[in-house]
Structure 1
Amino acid sequence: MPDFPALKNDLILRAARGETTERAPIWIMRQAGRYLPEFRKVREAHDFFEICRTPALAAEITLQPVRRYAGLLDASIIFSDILVVPQAMGMVVEMLPAKGPHFPEPLVTPADVAKLKTEVDVNKELGYVFEAITLTRTLLDGQVPLIGFTGAPWTLFAYMIEGGGSKTLQLAKSWLFKHPDESKALLKRIADVCVDYLIGQIKAGAQLVQVFDSWANELSEHDFREFSLPTLVQISTGVRAAFKEQNIPPVPLILFAKGANLQLDEIAAQAGYDVLGIDWVIAPQRARKLVAGKATLQGNFDPNLLYGGREGIEANVKRIAEAFKEGDGGQCKAWIANLGHGITPQVDPENLKWLLQCVHKYSASSA
Structure 2
Amino acid sequence: MRIVLGVGGGIAAYKVASLLRLFTEAGHHVTVIPTEAATRFVGTATWEALSGNPVSNSVFDDVHQVNHVRLGHEADLVVIAPATADLLAKAATGQAGDLLTNTLLMAHGPVLFAPAMHTEMWQHAATQANVETLRSRGAAVLEPATGRLTGSDSGPGRLPEPEVIFDAAMALVQGETDYQLPLAGRTVTISAGGTREPLDPVRFLGNRSSGKQGVALAVAARNAGATVRLLAAHMEVPAPAGVEVVPVETALQLREAALAAAAGSDVVIMSAAVADFRPAEVSDTKIKKRDDSADPVITLVRNPDILHELVELRNSAGHGKRQQLIVGFAAETGDSDGDVLAYGEAKLERKGCDLLVVNHVGADKVFGQDTNSVVILSRSGAEPQEAAGTKTEVSAAIISRIGFELNHVSPRA
User: TM-score scaled by structure 1?
Assistant: 0.31
More strand by percentage: 2
Larger Cα Rg: Structure 1 or Structure 2? 2
Report which structure shows greater RCO (CA 8 Å, sep ≥6). Answer: 1
More helix by percentage: 1
User: TM-score scaled by structure 2?
Assistant: 0.29
